[in-house]
Amino acid sequence: MNILAIESSCDETSAAVLVNGHILSNVIATQLIHEQYGGVVPELASRAHQQHILPVVERALADANLPKSELSAIAFTRGPGLLGSLLVGTSFAKAMALGLNIPLIEVNHMQAHVLAHFIETRQPTFPFLCLTVSGGHTQIVRIDAPLDMRVMGQTLDDAVGEAFDKSAKLLGLPYPGGPLIDKYAKEGNPLAYKFPMSEMPNLDFSFSGIKTAIMYFLRDNMRTNPEFINQHLADICASIQHTLVQMLLAKLKRAARETGITEIAVAGGVSANSGLRTALTKLGEEQGWNIYIPKFEYCTDNAAMIAMAAKFKYEQGDFTPQTVSPLPRMSM
């Protein structure tokens, strides 16, 4: 089984080749154009996808050393994501599958983030829990089989990646600010400042309160000391990161307790955060969990995870008709 997978849900154009269950290439073109606007501009994202998609796909096939005549299926992200971005990948995949006369496989981007764990040699056993934390989502998912997963709790407002990025923006850092908060946090004291953690009764999350609290905290301190951010950047970043990570882990602990599941995974762009990785590893040791954390390149958006999800669908003969169109709000 040789699958070419395409990911174009947001601002990364990516293509990957999977041969007999193994990823042979994973090419990612990140769109830098959005940095100057402080966030992803949908219209610019779809244009950039249009420019990148052909070279990215050709590169992925070349890196895998696989002629396209040997492909067995084309997979693509159907949603969730930005409509214009999804359209580029979807249309490209449809055309290519039609041209090669091979099946098409649609993939749910959030399922794929979870299934990224099966790219690695050390894989979680079923059932497992996955904390999926990204730019648009924050979910606790229970996975009973590769294509049998259920969201147990999720954010009711902002995603945690958004909380990282918006906090960074308040600090005057460029987009996407999540990785920069991570970087500065390494030099800071995580207990320097306290921010209120919102208390949701179940397994759901809320991150809009902490964002507002950070905004007022910075405004008040900058009023008395205009150099406050510059002088205390590391401590502020460390404290914000610590608070967000604690909010995530509190719910994960609760989900593990309620289900009795001890196979625990994390996925999505924010799982690249070193504070989260360290804290989760430590919590896992305390709780006797087996922890699964993807390699960095499989945390943020990539087509390798789309290929892996497609592999499971291919095995079940779950193909997609040519009439398919993207679903920007596709649910699990």
Q: Which residues are annotated as a binding site for Fe cation?
A: 109, 113, 301
Smallest distance from the beta carbon of 137 to Fe ion, in angstroms?
8
Smallest distance from the beta carbon of 177 to ligand ATP, in angstroms?
6
Query: Is there binding between residue 158 and Mg ion (CB under 5 A)?
Result: no
DSSP 140-181: EEEEEETTEEEEEEEBSS--HHHHHHHHHHHTTPPSS-HHHH
Complex with Fe ion: residue 151 or 229, whichever CB lies closer: 151
Q: Which does 277 bind (CB under 5 to 8 A by kind): ligand ATP, Mg ion, Fe ion, none?
A: none
Residue 140 contacts residue 203 (beta carbons within 8 Å): yes
Residue 162 carries which side chain, given as an amino acid letter? E
Smallest distance from the beta carbon of 85 to Fe ion, in angstroms?
11
Question: Token pair of 109, please?
Answer: 């981007």
Question: Token pair of 252, please?
Answer: 């994960």
Question: Token pair of 265, please?
Answer: 């995974």
Stretch in the footprint of ligand ATP (CB under 6 A) among 62-70, 99-107, 249-257, 265-273: 265-273
Smallest distance from the beta carbon of 304 to ligand ATP, in angstroms?
13
Smallest distance from the beta carbon of 136 to Fe ion, in angstroms?
7
Distance CA 167, CA 186 (A): 16
Binding site per annotation, positions for substrate: 132-136, 165, 178, 182, 273
Out of 7, 11, 162, 263, the residue judged to bind Mg ion by CB under 5 A: 11
Query: Is there binding between residue 182 and Mg ion (CB under 5 A)?
Result: no
Helices (H), 186-302: 208-224, 228-259, 274-287
Query: Is there binding between residue 238 and ligand ATP (CB under 6 A)?
Result: no
Residue 123 contacts residue 110 (beta carbons within 8 Å): no
* 246 burial type by CB count under 10 A (0-12 exposed, 13-18 middle, 19+ buried): middle
Q: What residues line the site for Mg ion (CB under 5 A)?
A: 10-12, 301
Q: What residues line the site for ligand ATP (CB under 6 A)?
A: 9-10, 80-81, 109, 113, 134-137, 161, 164-165, 176, 178-179, 182, 268-270, 272-273, 300-301
